[in-house]
Amino acid sequence: MKLAALFVALTLATRVAAQEPRLERLDSAARAPVAALIDSARVTGLPAEPLIQRALEGTTKGAPAGRVVAAVRRLAADLGRAREALGLSTAPLELEAGAAALRAGASPAVLTQLRRARHQPLMVPLAVLADLVASGVPPDSAAAAVLVLAGSVRDADLVEFRRAVERDIALGASPAGAATGVARDAALGVTDLNSSARTGSARPRRP
Partner 1 sequence: MPRAWAAVVGAACSLATLSRTAAAQTTATVDFGISTVRYDGFLTSGAAAIAPSVRWERPNASLTAQGTYLQFESGNRSIQGNVTGSLFTAPTHRWRGQLLATAGASNYAEFTSFHHTIGEARLHRLGEGGGGGTWISGTVGRSSLGGTPRRVLGVAVAGWAQHAGIQLFASANRSVVGDTAFSDLEAAARTRRGAIVWEGYAGVRIWSRGGGRGVYGEGSATIALGNHVAVVLSGGRYPTDPVRGSISGRYAGLAVRVHSPAALRPTPRDFPLHPPSVGSSGTSDPAGRIEVLSQGDRAVRFVVRAPDAGLVEIAGDFTDWQPMALDRGSGGVWEVVVRIPKGIHRIAVRIDGGPWIAPAGARRAEDDYGGEVGIFVVP
132-171 positions binding partner 1, by CB under 8 A = 134-141, 143-145, 147-148, 155-156, 159-160, 163-168, 171
Q: Which of 61, 88, 89, 119 binds partner 1 (CB under 8 A)?
A: 61
* Contact between 120 and 155 (Cβ < 8 Å): yes
In the complex with partner 1, the residue whose CB is nearer, 32 or 158, is 158
Sign of CA dihedral 161, 166, 169, 170: negative
Least gap, CB of 200 to partner 1 (angstroms): 7
Decide: is 201 part of the binding site for partner 1 (CB under 8 A).
yes
Q: Which is nearer to partner 1, 15 or 74 (CB)?
A: 74
Q: Which stretch binds partner 1 (CB under 8 A): 7-15, 37-45, 80-88, 179-187?
A: 179-187
Cα separation, 106 vs 150, whole angstroms: 15
Please tell me whether residue 122 binds partner 1 under the rule CB under 8 A: no
User: Is position 9 an interface residue for partner 1 (rule: CB under 8 A)?
Assistant: no
Q: What one-character DSSP code corresponds to residue 1?
A: -
Considering only residues 73 through 92, tell me which ones interact with partner 1, judged by CB under 8 A: 74-75
Question: Cβ closer to partner 1: 13 or 127?
Answer: 127
Q: What is the Cα–Cα distance from 71 to 130, expressed in whole angstroms?
A: 19
Q: Are 114 and 150 in contact (CB under 8 A)?
A: yes
Q: Which of residues 14-33 bind partner 1 (CB under 8 A)?
A: 22
Amino acid at site 127: A
- Measured from the CB of residue 11, what is the shortest distance to partner 1 in angstroms? 25
* Cα(138)–Cα(104) distance, integer angstroms: 10
Cα atoms found within 13 Å of the Cα of residue 37, Cβ hemisphere only: 25
Smaller CB separation from partner 1, 12 or 159: 159
Q: How far, in Å, CA of 18 to CA of 38, rounded?
A: 13
